[in-house]
Structure 1
Amino acid sequence: MTQLDPRQDAFDPQSRFAEARLHVPLLADQPDIGWRFVAPQQITNGNRRLSLRLRPDAESPQVTEALAGEALERLWEENDWVRVRTVHDGYLGWAAREALGVFGEPTLDLQVTALRAHAFAGPKVSQPILAELSYGARVARGAGEVVEEQRRRWVPVVLPSGLEAWVQEICFAPLPEREMTAFALRFLETPYVWGGRSAWGLDCSGLTQLVCGAYGKALPRDADQQQEGLGKVETPQAGDLAFFEGHVGLMLDERRMIHANATHMRVTIETLGEGEYGARLAASCTGFGRLA
C-alpha cells in the first residue's frame, strides 16, 4: 500500500471506509478491496474540549483534543463513535458521538487569549458558569454592549452551541509582543495530560504546538512530526525545540528547557546535563530544531 500516515490519512481496511482524497492511492494498491469513499463534513466543536481517542473505545488512549469552537471534519461513524479530524493540524481521532456537537460553520470572531477562562450566564462572577474555555478557544461576539461591573468589563458572547453567555473582556486581550518563551513560562505547573492541548492539561507536543502557534509558527501535533518539519541546529538558542524519543521541549536558552512531562506530571524547567533528570535528558536528546 502507498505509504500513508494513519494519524492524518483517514482509511480503515476493516470497515472499508476512507476519505475521498485517498481514492487514487488506495485503489492503485488494493483495487478489489471495495472501499467506501466519504467526503468530510465541515463542523465546529461545541462548548467543551472534545477528547479524540486512538480507537472507537472509551478506554482507548486520548490522542489529542479539540478546543471549544475549533473547526473539525466529520468522516464516518462506527457504532457510537465518529471519525473526526482537527482542521488546524489535520490530526485524526475518534470522538464519542454524544459528545460531538454538530454546529455547522458559525462565525466565531473572538479567540480566547487567557490561559484559562470561563463563560458565565450573566455579567457577574457569581453567575453560573456555562463553559470552561482555554487559550485558542473561539466564540462569537454577541449582541449588545459591553457591561461594566465593579471595574470589570463583560463582553456578551455566543458560544459555539448557540448559547448566550458573558466573558470578561480581559480574556480576549492581545498577547504581549514579547518572545514566545515568555508566553511558554505562563504554562509552568500546568498538569500533564496525555493528548491534552490546553492549560487545563497538556502533553509535551501540545505545549510546543500551542506556544509556537500563538506567535504564528504552526506546528503539527506530534513530537516526531514537529522534528521532521524543522531545520536542524547544533547549538540551541531561546525558542528552539529540543527533541527526544517521543518527547519535545522548548529551549529557554542554550541549556534550560521548559516541557510538559510525565516525570513530574506537570510543566517544569530542566537544565540539560544538570542533576539526574537533566543528565538523562541530555544523554537522550536526538537533536534541536529551529522555527523558520
Structure 2
Amino acid sequence: MSLDRRLTPATDRVAHDSLQGVLQRPEYTPGQPARVRAPLADLQTAPDGRRDRQVNFGADLTVIETRGGWSFVRMALDGYCGWLPDGAITRELPPITHRVTAPATHLYPAPDMKQQELAGLSIGARLSVETVEGHFARLATGGWVPVQHIGDRPAEDPVPVAESLLGTPYLWGGNSRWGIDCSGLVQAALTACGIACPGDSDLQRAAFPETSSIRRGDLLFWPGHVALALSESRMIHATAWAMSVIHEDIAPAIARIDAAGDGPFLGAHRPRA
C-alpha cells in the first residue's frame, strides 16, 4: 500500500496506533500531545533534512517518536508530518484563547513598546492570553503582545487576510510573514476563517469541490501552484515569478503560466466552511 509520506504518522521504527494493520512497524504509539514553542519552525523531512513546511507558534501536534534531539510529529492543523528539533516544542498546553490577526507582531518582556522585543510572531500564531493590561495581553507562556494585533474570533473573509500579506517575500515551504509560498498563503487565509485547509496545493485541490465559475474566495489551481480569487477576473498569490505575494489579473496569469510551460490551468475549486 502506498501512503502519502506527508500525511503518514510513522517513522521506520514507530507508527501511530491508527496504522496498526496498515503499516508494519516494531512499535506503535498513541503519541504525546505537544505544542510549538518556537516563534517559527521548519517541519523537515528528516532530522537536519529539507524543509517541507513551516509551523507557527502555538500550533498543536502529536509526538510520534523522539530521536537524537529531534521529534517526529503530526500537526493538528492539517495532519502534516515531519521532524522538529526538540527545542522547538513544549509539553505545556495552556488553553488557546487568541491568535495573531495582524501580519506580524512582537512579543515583549513587559507591557511596554519601548522594551527590547523577545521575538516576532506571525499571523496565525496561537496564543494563551491570561490577562490584559492596557494595550497589552500577557501570555501564559510568557511575554506580552499588543492587543491591537490579536483576536479571539475567526475572520469572516479569507481575501483581506491574504491581502494583509501583500509584499511578503516568496519562500518555498514558508508559512509566515517573513516568507510564504502559494499554499501557505491559502492555508493562512482559510484557517483564519475557521476553514480547515491542507498544507500543499495538490492536497488543497483534492480537499475542495470543483466549480465551473470563478468568484471571490475560490482557489485557482495549476500543477504545483494555487491562487486565491479576489473576483472573477483578479487574484492574489505567492509566486516565485515575482518572489512575492502579488495581485494579478487571472486571464493574463493563465496565459503567462502556460507560456512558461508551467500550465495548464486546472480550474477553480470552492472552499466550504
- Partner of 1:273, secondary structure, is helix
- Partner of 1:191, secondary structure, is coil
Partners of 2:10 and 2:156 in 1: how far apart? 42
Does the CA-based 8 Å contact 2:220-2:267 persist in structure 1?
A: yes
Structure 1 pair 259/175, CA: closer, same or farther in 2 (3 Å)? farther
CA deviations on 1:24-63 (whole Å, 9 max, x unpaired) are 1124xxxxxx522222110111141121112222xx3211
Deviation at 1:177?
Answer: 6.4
**1:30 aligned residue:** none
Unmatched 5+ stretches in structure 1: 28-33, 148-152
**1:146 aligned residue:** 133
Does the CA-based 8 Å contact 1:46-1:103 persist in structure 2?
A: no
Does the CA-based 8 Å contact 1:244-1:286 persist in structure 2?
A: yes
Q: Percent identity?
A: 32
1:265 aligned to which of 243, 252, 256? 243
Structure-2-length-normalised TM-score: 0.90
Structure-1-length-normalised TM-score: 0.84
Task: Work out whether 1:216 is the aligned partner of 2:194.
Answer: yes
Unmatched 5+ stretches in structure 2: none
* 2:82 maps to amino acid: G
* 1:36 maps to amino acid: E
Does the CA-based 8 Å contact 2:227-2:235 persist in structure 1?
A: yes
Matches within 5 A, 1:169-248: 169-173=147-151, 179-248=157-226
**2:35 aligned residue:** 44
Deviation at 1:289?
Answer: 0.3
- Partner of 1:7, secondary structure, is helix
Partners of 2:8 and 2:230 in 1: how far apart? 34
**1:73 aligned residue:** 62
Matches within 5 A, 1:40-189: 40-57=31-48, 60-97=49-86, 99-143=87-131, 146-147=133-134, 153-159=135-141, 163=142, 165-173=143-151, 179-189=157-167
For these two proteins, the number of residue pairs brought into alignment is: 268
The alignment's C-alpha RMSD in Å is 2.1
- Partner of 2:65, secondary structure, is strand
- Partner of 2:148, secondary structure, is helix
Partners of 1:220 and 1:251 in 2: how far apart? 18
- Partner of 1:24, secondary structure, is coil
Select between 124-133 and 237-246 the one with higher mean Cα deviation.
Answer: 124-133
